[in-house]
Amino acid sequence: MPSPTLPEPARNEPRGGRDLPAAIATGAALLVPAVIGILFFVEVLILLFSVLLCLGVWEVARALKGQGYNVPVVPLCVGSVGMLVAAYFAAEEGLVLSFALTSALILVWVWASSAVRATPIGAEKPPIQSAAAAVFIGCWVPFLVSFAVLLVQMDDGAWRLTVVVLLVVCNDTFGYIAGRLFGRRPMAPKVSPKKSWEGFAGSLLGAAAVSALFSWVVFDEPLYAGVLLAVIVVVAATAGDFAESMVKREAGIKDMSNALPGHGGVMDRLDSVVWAMPAAYLGVVALGLA
């Protein structure tokens, strides 16, 4: 079935589709607690992520609701906070167990809701499909982002997480610059028409340079380790961006929401981070940098 056509921006929308002053203010409001959480108190980072993840799962649930999925938001929010806390106190084992418990809670919640309301409303999907969609959201958003908590608790974890965030920023920034200057061949025109192979190459080169510099100056590691980590993060971040674009196109929406003034929805900003965190964590472990 062809993807629905995306709605055109409103005529009074600021040029570029974003309110720049609002975007800067929102970015600063998120940056301050993020820096405090990464460098000083990881509990602040967990609190910030808890708020963002609850908003994120609500956004995706709302987008899927338009396709007939009755996704329960309450167990997803409970599970989002639970996964972050479990990752903090019980590392990988706690995170996996918390995801399993979240999935079980979703199934019980959907079963109880369907028992109360035996007849689906309108074009609503069967309960088992809504439950599967909710488990998918739980894996896609809170489970993957929770790897940031595992990353920050490594040796030099504050710097590790800082570098990963910078690499995601480099992926967007250098990709945008290279794409604007040299972009000719789209990577996936039906999913994200503006992303080009030339932009992707710019993302790789820019992120590799930044990561190699940190490997040399901060971590005292071989330059190739930084380059490999950059490749892992850029590939994962790009895949995450495509994944969210696919969901939005299927739902027929431009932004997930307007929860973040000047930025759109939370998932519009976390799309790259979601996949980058587990990829970076596994990359650091595989490269023997932990």
Q: What is the DSSP string of 244-256?
A: HHHHHHHHT-SSS
The per-residue pLDDT for range 127-148, each reduced to its tens digit, is: 899 999 999 999 999 999 999 9
Looking at the fold, whether 176 and 97 belong to one and the same domain comes out as no
* Same domain for 163 and 281: yes
Confidence of residue 11 (pLDDT cuts 50, 70, 90): very low
For residues 95-123, average pLDDT:
84
pLDDT top residue among 37 and 59: 59
What is the C-alpha separation between 244 and 145, in angstroms, rounded?
A: 14
46 located within any domain = yes
Confidence of residue 82 (pLDDT cuts 50, 70, 90): very high
Pairing of strands 192-196, 186-188: antiparallel
Query: Can you spell out the DSSP letters for 143-197?
Result: IHHTHHHHHHTSTTHHHHHHHHHHHHHHHHHHHHHHHHHH--SEEETTTEEEEEH
Alpha-carbon separation of residue 196 from 25, 189, 269 (angstroms): 30, 9, 20
Structural domain span for residue 180: 155-290
Q: Which of 107, 129, 153 is the last residue of a domain?
A: 153
| 169 and 106 Cβ atoms separated by less than 8 Å | no
Give the pLDDT band (50/70/90) at residue 8. very low
Same domain, yes or no, for 80 and 163? no
- Does position 287 have pLDDT exceeding 80, yes or no? yes
On whether residue 14 sits in a domain, the answer given is no
Q: Say what the pTM is.
A: 0.84
pLDDT > 70: percent of the chain: 83
pLDDT one-digit tens code per residue, 173-217: 898 898 888 878 888 877 777 888 989 999 999 999 999 999 999
8 Å CB contact between 172 and 272: yes
Specify the number of domains making up the chain.
2
> Would you say residue 217 lies in a domain?
yes
Residue 74 lies in a domain: yes
Q: What mean pLDDT do residues 115-124 have?
A: 63
The H or E element that residue 141 is part of is none
Q: How confident is the model over 111-132, as a mean pLDDT?
A: 77
* Domain termination residue (choose one: 93, 123, 153): 153
Confidence of residue 279 (pLDDT cuts 50, 70, 90): very high
Is it the case that residue 249 has pLDDT exceeding 50? yes
> At which of 137, 153, 169 does a domain end?
153
Helix (H, G, I), strand (E, B) or coil at 264: strand
Can you read off the two tokens belonging to residue 226? 């930084």
Residue tagged 């959201």 (tokens): 137
Q: Is residue 7 over pLDDT 90?
A: no
Residues 288 and 159 in one domain: yes
pLDDT band of residue 23 (cuts 50, 70, 90) is low
pLDDT band at 35 (very low <50, low <70, confident <90, very high): confident
Mean pLDDT of the chain: 83
